């Protein structure tokens, strides 16, 4: 019997097809790396990108020259423009404003062919540090109400370049999905005076069947009502509502569980394309007590998203308990099959 | 300057990139028809599908045999099961129930290679009649709270078979996107005592720049804050909250504007994959005054949906005013380029 399950935070029901449950190998994902051909994110090609905003340069090399280990630049084709005022205006019953915002790219490593799941400790941690630094800096701009960090990996997930990178968009509005999470978790807080995410973490860690792994400060799990097969969340086990609030000393734990989880997904799903999104509260203090920072990872395995994002009604062919079991059992020293076939240098 | 625009119904902001505005030919959609090879939806193969629920058989032929012009069957691989009770239950803080529901397939025509945009008058109208008949029948089942009719056209839009068909899912819950529309339009109604969709139609028909076409009873338009390029809505110009409430005598006008709009999209976008979804109020009378029946058509042109459905934050590279202009100017007697190349028989 298929099951209808309700997401406790925003109240979305999803259909979980537990009977014809799809295993990782059923998705037939193919992922080819093309290798570096005039990649603007590779060392030596710095002039092909906008000037760097920040960069980590352990050898003290000059800006916009090789020698960096991580680089943050403006997006060459920004969805929003950094200059200008908001100029809110109405047209009859419609509302609009100027598309003011920041759109930055975090080039995670100088190495063209590696990705987060295979980074060394320092590279993985530096990516998190770069997210934090940019968020803290952009929060000073009074025009911005939300700062969203995300990563598209693979063409099917929307990445136009294959060199490891993430993106950051600072917006004068709070995205709808975030508003829903804020409202849902606020309702629960008003009713129980507890953070709903903290309660979920307690129940999940006690149940265990949807937990993939945990360390002293973070847990990786499959949510109870996932929209997509192998949707995976990473949450701090203590209550923090933003990445900036998380103590500096636990950043290595976040980098390490994110890397390990991406590696588990890559091995299990043959290096499938994915998106991850940092879910944080808005720039203002709204949600400090009741919103819980987390990262949502969405492997791109199914094609039916068109209908599903149109209705908000998701049919998920893999139960999260099964997905968690597959991911727990992954051999972390394995190499994804598609990477063995398409070795790139 | 890009523009931020707010959907007046559910309050979602989208980014409209008016500067680097994408034209229809920029999307590079390819759509190949493979032709009929043992298609279970073709006449003569009726035994390959579950038995028919209803069929239109002008020559009085026997059930589950050739001679039909339209056939409705149960989905062979249903997302929900028709038998059983709901059995709502909780598990700690989580809620679930049995996946009880109906999942049907409307085989729109016996002809394997034609689609809605090229149907004759009778075939197009019969599809709408079949939707109505099945909705009216399924509403009698007290377990169902919502009946959703939709069509996936093309593999990239989630269609697993290319023979023209739509689907219907009856569910014991109201999908999240519908709930959002209901809540948004109710708020407006409480404030203004008018239907928000009726107000939008009045403003759009007076402005004209986002209207594609209209007839005596329906209008096809590009919404002010579309999520995707060429997102298109069809609405009755008078207030009706469901397909069943629309007077029988205006069904030909609905069939004709839907066919014409799909044809405009096919010619303009080289026969691109699409989803359409009938947006109707729930089975109960909730929303009768303030919800407005409409059809949302979503061409599948961009790949970035992964990030966007994760955040609810959409970046649309084609302004709806431009899309409406392209669609108004379409030569309706043209054949989409990809169909000329891939003639199937």
pLDDT digit string (tens) for B170-216?
999 998 889 999 999 999 999 999 999 999 999 999 999 999 999 99
Determine which of A15-24, A70-79, B40-49, B319-328 has the lowest per-residue pLDDT on average: A15-24
- Please report how many Cα atoms fall inside a 13 Å half-sphere around the Cα of residue B340, on the Cβ side: 7
3-state secondary structure chain A: CCEEEECCCCCCEEEECCCCCCCHHHHCCCCCCCCCCCCCCCCCCHHHCCCEEEEECCCCCCCCCCCCCEEEEECCCCCCECCCCCCCEEECCEEEEECECEEEEEECCCCCCCCHHHCCHHHHHHHHHHHHHHHHHHCCCCCCCEEEEEEEECHHHCCCCCCCEEEEEEECCCCHHHHHHHHHHHHHHHHHCCCHHHHHHHHHHHHCCCEEEECCCEEEECCCCCCCCCCEEEEECCCCCCCCCCCHHHHHHHHHHHHHHHHHHHHHCCCCCEEEEEECCCCCCCCCCCCCCEEEEEECCCCCHHHHHHHCCEEECCCHHHHHHHHHCCCCCCCCHHHHHCCCC
- Whether residue B19 is predicted with pLDDT greater than 80 in this model: the reply is no
A249 touches chain B (CB under 8 A): no
- Residues B102-106 have a mean pLDDT of 96
Cβ-defined contact of A1 to B300 (cutoff 8 Å): no
Range 134-163 of B in CB contact (< 8 A) with A: 148, 150, 152, 155-158
Residue of A nearest to B88 (CA): A4
pLDDT-based confidence at B156, cuts 50/70/90? confident
pLDDT digit string (tens) for A276-294?
999 999 998 889 999 999 9
Host domain of residue A312: 3-341
Q: To the nearest whole angstrom, how far is the Cα of B68 from the nearest Cα of chain A?
A: 28
More confident residue, A61 or A335: A61
pLDDT digit string (tens) for A210-246?
999 999 999 999 999 998 899 999 999 999 999 999 9
Identify the pLDDT of residue A338: 64
pLDDT digit string (tens) for A43-60?
999 999 999 999 999 999
Distance CA A91, CA A85 (A): 18
Q: To the nearest whole angstrom, how far is the Cα of B54 from the nearest Cα of chain A?
A: 25
Identify the pLDDT of residue B36: 67
When the pLDDT of each residue in chain A is averaged and rounded to a whole number, the result is 90
- Whether residue B332 is predicted with pLDDT greater than 90 in this model: the reply is no
This prediction has a pTM of: 0.91
- Residues B48-58 have a mean pLDDT of 97
Residue of B nearest to A226 (CA): B310
Catalytic-labelled residue, pool B165, B279, B292, B294: B165
Q: Are strands A13-16 and A314-316 parallel, antiparallel or unpaired?
A: parallel
Chain A partners within 8 Å of B298 (Cβ): 306, 310
pLDDT-based confidence at A176, cuts 50/70/90? confident
Point out the residue among A77, A203, A306 whose CB comes nearest to the CB of B158.
A306
Chain B partners within 8 Å of A4 (Cβ): 96-99, 171-173
Cβ-defined contact of B96 to A5 (cutoff 8 Å): yes
B334 touches chain A (CB under 8 A): no
A278 touches chain B (CB under 8 A): no
Chain B partners within 8 Å of A171 (Cβ): 4, 13, 313
- Whether residue B106 is predicted with pLDDT greater than 60 in this model: the reply is yes
pLDDT digit string (tens) for A90-99?
989 999 999 8
When the pLDDT of each residue in chain B is averaged and rounded to a whole number, the result is 90
- Whether residue B32 is predicted with pLDDT greater than 80 in this model: the reply is no
B275 touches chain A (CB under 8 A): yes
B93 touches chain A (CB under 8 A): yes
The residues facing A171 across adjacent strands are A146
Cβ-defined contact of B176 to A12 (cutoff 8 Å): yes
Cβ-defined contact of B306 to A199 (cutoff 8 Å): no
Identify the pLDDT of residue A233: 98
- Residues A7-26 have a mean pLDDT of 81
Domains held by chain B: number: 1
Please indicate, yes or no, if residue B243 is contained in any of the structural domains.
yes
- Whether residue A267 is predicted with pLDDT greater than 50 in this model: the reply is yes
Chain A partners within 8 Å of B224 (Cβ): 94
Q: To the nearest whole angstrom, how far is the Cα of A303 from the nearest Cα of chain B?
A: 6
Identify the pLDDT of residue A32: 66
B71 contacts: CB under 8 Å, gap ≥ 6: B41, B46, B52, B54, B55, B56, B106, B107
Identify the pLDDT of residue B38: 85
A275 touches chain B (CB under 8 A): yes
Cβ-defined contact of B178 to A81 (cutoff 8 Å): no
Distance CA B341, CA B334 (A): 14
- Both tokens of residue B238? 């008078």
Cβ-defined contact of A79 to B307 (cutoff 8 Å): no
Distance CA A239, CA A197 (A): 8
pLDDT-based confidence at A208, cuts 50/70/90? very high
- Whether residue B227 is predicted with pLDDT greater than 50 in this model: the reply is yes
Residue of B nearest to A85 (CA): B1
Point out the residue among A81, A203, A308 whose CB comes nearest to the CB of B1.
A81
Range 205-244 of A in CB contact (< 8 A) with B: 207, 224-225, 227
Identify the pLDDT of residue A105: 97
Respond yes or no: is residue A165 known to be catalytic: yes
- Whether residue B153 is predicted with pLDDT greater than 50 in this model: the reply is yes
Q: To the nearest whole angstrom, how far is the Cα of B5 from the nearest Cα of chain A?
A: 4
- Whether residue A20 is predicted with pLDDT greater than 70 in this model: the reply is no
CATH of the domain at A332: 3.30.428.10
Query: How many residue contacts between A and B have a Cβ separation below 8 Å?
Result: 210
ipTM: 0.87
Cβ-defined contact of A15 to B224 (cutoff 8 Å): no
Identify the pLDDT of residue A276: 96
Cβ-defined contact of A157 to B306 (cutoff 8 Å): yes
Residue of B22, B309, B318 to mutate when probing chain A, most A C-beta within 10 A: B309
Identify the pLDDT of residue B33: 67
Let me know if B332 is exposed, middle or buried by CB neighbors in 10 A (0-12, 13-18, 19+). exposed
Distance CA B21, CA A148 (A): 24
Residue of B17, B76, B103, B306 to mutate when probing chain A, most A C-beta within 10 A: B306
Catalytic-labelled residue, pool A165, A239, A292, A294: A165
Residue of A nearest to B300 (CA): A306
Chain A partners within 8 Å of B81 (Cβ): 1-2
A324 phi/psi in degrees, rounded to 5: -60, -40
- Residues A134-140 have a mean pLDDT of 97
Point out the residue among B303, B309, B310 whose CB comes nearest to the CB of A156.
B303
Cβ-defined contact of A306 to B200 (cutoff 8 Å): no
Residue of A nearest to B227 (CA): A310
Cβ-defined contact of B311 to A178 (cutoff 8 Å): yes
Please indicate, yes or no, if residue B90 is contained in any of the structural domains.
yes
Residue of B nearest to A5 (CA): B96
B113 touches chain A (CB under 8 A): no
B96 touches chain A (CB under 8 A): yes
């Amino acid at each position: 019997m298929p099951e209808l399950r309700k997401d406790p935070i925003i109240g979305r029901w999803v259909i979980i097809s537990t009977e014809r449950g799809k295993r990782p190998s059923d998705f037939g994902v193919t992922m080819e790396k093309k290798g570096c051909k005039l990649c603007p994110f590779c060392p030596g090609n710095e002039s092909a990108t906008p000037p760097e905003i920040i960069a980590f340069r352990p050898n003290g090399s000059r800006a916009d020259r090789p020698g960096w280990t991580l680089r943050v630049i403006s997006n060459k084709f920004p969805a929003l423009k950094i200059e200008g005022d908001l100029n809110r205006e109405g047209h009859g019953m419609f509302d609009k404003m100027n598309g003011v915002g920041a759109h930055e790219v975090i080039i995670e490593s100088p190495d063209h062919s590696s990705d987060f799941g295979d980074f060394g400790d320092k590279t993985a941690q530096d990516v998190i540090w770069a997210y934090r630094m940019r968020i803290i800096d952009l929060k000073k701009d009074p025009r911005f109400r939300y700062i969203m960090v995300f990563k598209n990996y693979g063409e099917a997930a929307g990445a136009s370049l294959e060199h490891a990178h993430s993106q950051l968009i600072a917006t004068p509005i709070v995205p709808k999905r975030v508003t829903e999470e804020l409202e849902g978790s606020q309702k629960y807080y008003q009713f129980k005076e507890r953070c709903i995410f903290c309660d979920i973490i307690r129940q999940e860690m006690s149940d265990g069947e949807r937990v993939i792994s945990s360390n002293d400060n973070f847990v990786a799990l499959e949510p109870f009502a996932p929209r997509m097969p192998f949707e995976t969340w990473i949450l701090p086990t203590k209550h923090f509502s933003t990445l900036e609030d998380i103590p500096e000393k636990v950043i290595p734990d976040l980098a390490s569980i994110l890397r390990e989880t991406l590696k588990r997904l890559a091995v299990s799903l043959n290096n499938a394309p994915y998106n991850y999104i940092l879910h944080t509260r808005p720039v203002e203090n709204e949600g400090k007590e009741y919103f819980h920072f987390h990262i949502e990872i969405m492997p791109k395995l199914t094609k039916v998203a068109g209908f599903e994002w149109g209705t908000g009604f998701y049919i998920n062919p893999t139960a999260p308990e099964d997905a968690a079991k597959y991911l727990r059992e992954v051999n972390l020293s394995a190499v994804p099959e598609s990477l063995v076939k398409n070795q790139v240098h």
